Amino acid sequence: MAFWASVLIVLVTTVLVVLYRLGALRQRRVNEPPLDKGLIPWLGHAMDFCKDASSFLKRMQERHGDIFTVQMAGRYITFVTDPFSFDAILKESRSRLDSSNLISGLVFKVFEFQGQECHGNIMHNSTPKYLMGTGLVGLTQAMMDNLQILMLEPDAGRRSGPQEWKQKGLFQYCCNTVFRAGYLALFGHLPTNGKADHAQDLLQSQKVFEEFRNLDTLFPQAFYSVLLPKEKEEMRRLRHFFWDILSPQHILERDDVSAWIRSAQEQQVEEGVSEKAQSQFNLLMLWVSQGSTGIVSFWALLFLLKNPEALKAVREEAEGVLRKMGQEMRPGEAPISVEYSMLQQTPVLDSVMEETLRLVTTPFLTRTVKEDLILKMDGGKEYALRQGDEVSIFPYLFLHRNPEIYPDPTAFKYDRFLNPDGSRKVVFYKQGRKLKPHMLPWGAGITICPGRFFALNEMKMFVFLMVTQYDIELVDQDVKIPSIDLKRFGIGATQPIQDVQFRYRIRF
């Protein structure tokens, strides 16, 4: 009898421990946000979230209101949906709400990169210097030089002859061109021993682009740890391909490597970081810098092509800037060069880019709760957050697409970010109260994207060249704007589920 009692006690204890570990015993405590664990222990709402995070969070908001905690694959994440309460999270000290653990966890999973102390320093101290300060002008020029090589030089010989239309997938074209120009601007050129020969660069950057797209296709599965065995093998091959071409040795052999990448390499060598870890870091930098710019450029051009009035306004503005800078476009003349200062004179294009970013960027701004704390919402209500949980903001749904802030929020309005006098509009309201911030495409706080100014310059330059140098049109003007891939929320910019065919031909 005593034996069976012991067995029963062991069994009950084991079941309780397992249930506890699976989170099934967690109950909402006094002052905590509403808790929604979902029906499946431990997994909770993970499947719904991975399928379509935006619709899932909308349902949760309708059910629970401005703040709620959901269980997902063993994690408890509190979502705050009231834009006026975002500041309380974004301005909280790192010792209480920290994002670094999450980033390194994600990064290790996908890129097998374990960041060291010096990588934090590189990111937060030296990176901004090269991507924002004086370094930005040189980097922007390097981007222009590479766009010339990829876009304008191949057509240069044909300028005086008959102008031919070329047809391509717009997504493929934008991603290819912007990726390769950005890659060459940041990671430099293959050595040519003094000759002005771009053939090898064109070939190699094409290969790098194709492999990057392969990596990008597998990214969501790697992100959610659901790679099939064959996909795991492919991911391994891709990682090795990039670790090889981005190895410190290969970077040293290249010409015109950006000061950003060069200085990061020098600092890692000083700190004794292994060559493998340096290659892994370079792959991460390639990913963060090149993962979204081509995609956002695609959406910007597609929105312009679907809105002839907007395309006309952007083209007229760009032509005006060219005239002002003495760069008249005439048949047979040298291709134009878009300089840094020209990109500061384009409020209409700025508005188009901001409207595009509003519609297509979907970051989650997530922090780990380092110690039990009280979160004070804008309305004054206070909620207790538990140490070890996470707290997250999803600006795409709760800010960028909020109809009280942006009327008709799913529509592309090219002049939404322009004041009636044509200057840049930076003040937006919700229920009569000014919002700060009114947009969060680049994240916020210490981890805010340090490449945001360069990214904007890259994309603006590309659109500028496309509208001034080419006639562009959709093959089918009535084609519908493609739906987005719902599995990619939180992973860079949203991608279309299919491409859209367009035509372009050199104008002069």
Shortest Å distance, C-beta 303 to ligand HEM: 15
CA-CA distance, 355 to 349, in Å (whole number)?
10
Buried b (16+ CB within 10 A) or exposed e, 213-245: eebbebbbbbbbeebeeeeeebbeebbebbbeb
**23 versus 441: smaller Cβ distance to ligand HEM:** 441
Task: Report the C-alpha dihedral over residues 302, 306, 309, 310, rounded to 10 degrees.
Answer: -20
Closest CA to 212 of 188, 246, 185: 246
Tokens of 112: 């097998």
Determine which residue in the list 113, 396, 454, 464 makes contact with ligand HEM, applying CB under 6 A. Answer: 454
Residue located via tokens 């293959």: 190
Determine which residue in the list 245, 359, 444, 472 makes contact with ligand HEM, applying CB under 6 A. Answer: 444
Shortest Å distance, C-beta 330 to ligand HEM: 33
Angle, alpha carbons 438-397-449 (nearest 5°):
55
Shortest Å distance, C-beta 220 to ligand HEM: 16
Task: Give the binding range for ligand HEM (CB under 6 A) out of 76-84, 286-294, 417-425, 429-437.
Answer: 286-294
Task: Give the binding range for ligand HEM (CB under 6 A) out of 5-13, 45-53, 320-328, 357-365.
Answer: 357-365
**109 versus 166: smaller Cβ distance to ligand HEM:** 109
**177 versus 293: smaller Cβ distance to ligand HEM:** 293
Q: Do the Cβ atoms of 168 and 491 come closer than 8 Å?
A: no
437 prior amide bond cis, ω within 30: yes
Q: Do the Cβ atoms of 311 and 304 come closer than 8 Å?
A: yes
Instruction: Check binding of 449 to ligand HEM (CB under 6 A).
Output: yes
Query: Of 292-311, which residues contact ligand HEM (CB under 6 A)?
Result: 292-293, 296
**201 versus 458: smaller Cβ distance to ligand HEM:** 458
Q: Is 109 marked as binding a ligand?
A: yes
Task: Give the binding range for ligand HEM (CB under 6 A) out of 36-44, 53-61, 394-402, 438-446.
Answer: 438-446
Instruction: Check binding of 360 to ligand HEM (CB under 6 A).
Output: no
Shortest Å distance, C-beta 32 to ligand HEM: 25
Q: Do the Cβ atoms of 360 and 488 come closer than 8 Å?
A: no
What Rg do the C-alpha atoms of the chain give, in angstroms? 25
Instruction: Check binding of 494 to ligand HEM (CB under 6 A).
Output: no
Q: What are phi and psi of 258, to 5 degrees?
A: -65, 155
**472 versus 493: smaller Cβ distance to ligand HEM:** 493
Shortest Å distance, C-beta 456 to ligand HEM: 8
Shortest Å distance, C-beta 336 to ligand HEM: 23
**363 versus 496: smaller Cβ distance to ligand HEM:** 363
Distance from the first to the final alpha carbon of the chain: 96
CA-CA distance, 410 to 79, in Å (whole number)?
22
Shortest Å distance, C-beta 289 to ligand HEM: 4
Determine which residue in the list 226, 252, 426, 448 makes contact with ligand HEM, applying CB under 6 A. Answer: 448
Q: Give the contacts of 205 (CB within 8 A, at least 6 positions apart).
A: 180, 183, 184
Q: Do the Cβ atoms of 208 and 188 come closer than 8 Å?
A: no
Q: Is 449 marked as binding a ligand?
A: yes
Task: Give the binding range for ligand HEM (CB under 6 A) out of 417-425, 444-452, 461-469, 483-491.
Answer: 444-452
Residue 64 to residues 67, 78, 312, 370, Cα–Cα distance (Å): 7, 11, 45, 25
Task: Report the C-alpha dihedral over residues 317, 318, 319, 325, rounded to 10 degrees.
Answer: 110
Q: Do the Cβ atoms of 186 and 261 come closer than 8 Å?
A: yes
Shortest Å distance, C-beta 154 to ligand HEM: 24
> How many residues belong to the site for ligand HEM (CB under 6 A)?
26
Task: Give the binding range for ligand HEM (CB under 6 A) out of 209-217, 287-295, 344-352, 383-391.
Answer: 287-295
Query: Of 45-104, which residues contact ligand HEM (CB under 6 A)?
Result: 99, 103
**23 versus 363: smaller Cβ distance to ligand HEM:** 363
Q: DSSP secondary-structure letter at 487?
A: G
Determine which residue in the list 23, 33, 135, 451 makes contact with ligand HEM, applying CB under 6 A. Answer: 451
Task: Give the binding range for ligand HEM (CB under 6 A) out of 61-69, 238-246, 407-415, 443-451.
Answer: 443-451
Tokens of 140: 């922007």
Shortest Å distance, C-beta 393 to ligand HEM: 10
**DSSP letters of 119-131?**
HHHIIIIIHHHHH
On the CB side of 336, how many CA atoms lie within 13 Å of its CA? 28
Closest CA to 239 of 203, 267, 276, 273: 276
Query: Of 101-160, which residues contact ligand HEM (CB under 6 A)?
Result: 103, 123-124, 127, 131
Task: Give the binding range for ligand HEM (CB under 6 A) out of 17-25, 70-78, 266-274, 450-458.
Answer: 450-458
Q: Do the Cβ atoms of 217 and 171 come closer than 8 Å?
A: no
Residue located via tokens 């008959």: 162
What does the binding site for ligand HEM look like in residue numbers (CB under 6 A)? 99, 103, 123-124, 127, 131, 288-289, 292-293, 296, 361, 363, 365, 441-444, 447-451, 454-455, 493
Residues belonging to the binding site for heme are: 449
Residues belonging to the binding site are: 109, 449
